[in-house]
Homo-oligomer: A and B are copies of this chain.
């Protein structure tokens, strides 16, 4: 599957960069090293200066690609969800049963922990870690409406939209597909984090897929029991 996606250009809103990073060597290097840096240091402690040092380019060059650290984070996260949408399409293609398609969609959101796929040299595992710990910071701030207009959340919205259509196939009268899905996706990411750092806020199990199973059950119960 990596090969299939290797030929695919993931679309990201052009409000999320100054120069498309995948059009140059330096741009690609910024993406690669920023994923490494943010995974290692976290978003708050990451700086363009440090990034410049690991790339071997001056800070100022990075600013030509991304106007701020925030824009870079928005780019990475949007790129991730663009990729996830591609994976989703492949994952659920030719599966007729909507329940199975929904289960596969939910499982997909947590799947990156178990695999190790590289896209454009980026270890998607690490990007997944960034999604878990940092993605919420792109919208939980006072600039959310501006970021939204720049298209920061389009790919995520589309992903949610696609899965919510599956829910409405299962139960056309279900009124809260988006609400259910964002609860599940954000919740799933959070439970991974709690499992590692705040175990009293979750119920960690030995099986690797307990979170996936929990949320699949939660979804199906809610969707089917609704009037």
Chain B residues, Cβ within 8 Å of A61: none
Given A140-B136, A221-B225: A200 touches B145 (CB 8 Å cut-off): no
Q: Is residue A60 within 8 Å, beta carbon to beta carbon, of the partner chain? A: no
Interface locus among A21-29, A101-109, A174-182: A174-182
**Total identical chains:** 2
A interface secondary structure, majority: helix
Asked if B179 contacts A202 (CB within 8 A), the reply is: yes
Taking CB atoms and an 8 Å cut-off, the chain A residues in 22-70 that contact chain B are 41-45
Minimum distance in angstroms from A135 CB to a CB of chain B: 9
Chain A positions near chain B (C-beta within 8 angstroms): 41-45, 133-134, 136-137, 139-142, 144-145, 148, 153, 156-157, 160-161, 175-180, 182-184, 186-187, 190-191, 193-194, 197-198, 200-203, 205, 211, 214, 217-218, 221-222, 225-226
Given A45-B142, A187-B187: A178 touches B193 (CB 8 Å cut-off): no
Chain B residues, Cβ within 8 Å of A180: 218
Chain B residues, Cβ within 8 Å of A148: 197-198
Asked if A203 contacts B186 (CB within 8 A), the reply is: no
Q: Bound complex: CA of A41 vs CA of B141, how far in Å?
A: 9
Q: Bound complex: CA of A224 vs CA of B64, how far in Å?
A: 56
Q: Which 7 A-B pairs have the closest CB atoms?
A: A42-B142, A183-B187, A221-B221, A176-B203, A179-B203, A157-B200, A144-B197
